[in-house]
C-alpha cells in the first residue's frame, strides 16, 4: 500500500497558507468595513438627536458633547480624532440635506 502522508501534509500546509494569506485578511477587511458602517450609523443617529435636543444656532459645543456622551454610553470604541471626523461628516450631511435624503 502506498503512503500518502507526505501528500496530505503538503495539501494541509497549502490550505493553511491560503487561509492565512487570503481568508483571514478578507474576514478582517469585512469586519472593519462593517464596524465603520455601524459607527457611522450611530454617529448619524446621535447627531440627529443632538439637533433635536439642542435646537438653534450657536450651540455646536453642546451638540458635540451630547453626541460624544451618547456614543460613549452606547459603547463606541473609536479614538477621539477619528470620531471627530466622523461627527463633522455627519453634521455636514445633515446640514446639506444628505442625511434626510438617506432616511427617505
Q: Mean per-residue pLDDT for 70-92?
A: 82
C-alpha span between 31 and 98 (Å, rounded): 26
- Residue 83 to residues 9, 26, 72, 96: CA-CA distances in angstroms? 47, 25, 11, 20
CA geometry: angle 12, 18, 22, nearest 5 deg = 155
Domain that holds residue 96: 5-103
Q: Mean per-residue pLDDT for 48-58?
A: 88
Classify residue 79 by its DSSP letter: -
Residue 58 region by backbone torsions, left for phi larger than 0, else alpha for psi between -120 and 50, else beta: left
pLDDT value at residue 84: 81
Q: Mean per-residue pLDDT for 62-68?
A: 91
Record the pTM: 0.60
pLDDT at 12 exceeding the cut of 80:
no
The total number of structural domains in the chain stands at: 1
Please state which of the ranges 47-51, 64-68, 71-75 shows the lowest mean pLDDT. 71-75
Amino acid at each position: 500500500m502506498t503512503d500518502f502522508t507526505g501528500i496530505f501534509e503538503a495539501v494541509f500546509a497549502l490550505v493553511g497558507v491560503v487561509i492565512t494569506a487570503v481568508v483571514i485578511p478578507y474576514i478582517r477587511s469585512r469586519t472593519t468595513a462593517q464596524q465603520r458602517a455601524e459607527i457611522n450609523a450611530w454617529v448619524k443617529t446621535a447627531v440627529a438627536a443632538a439637533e433635536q435636543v439642542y435646537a438653534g444656532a450657536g450651540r455646536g459645543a453642546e451638540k458635540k458633547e451630547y453626541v460624544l456622551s451618547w456614543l460613549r454610553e452606547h459603547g463606541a470604541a473609536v479614538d477621539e480624532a477619528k470620531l471627530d471626523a466622523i461627527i463633522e461628516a455627519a453634521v455636514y450631511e445633515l446640514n446639506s440635506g444628505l442625511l434626510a435624503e438617506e432616511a427617505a
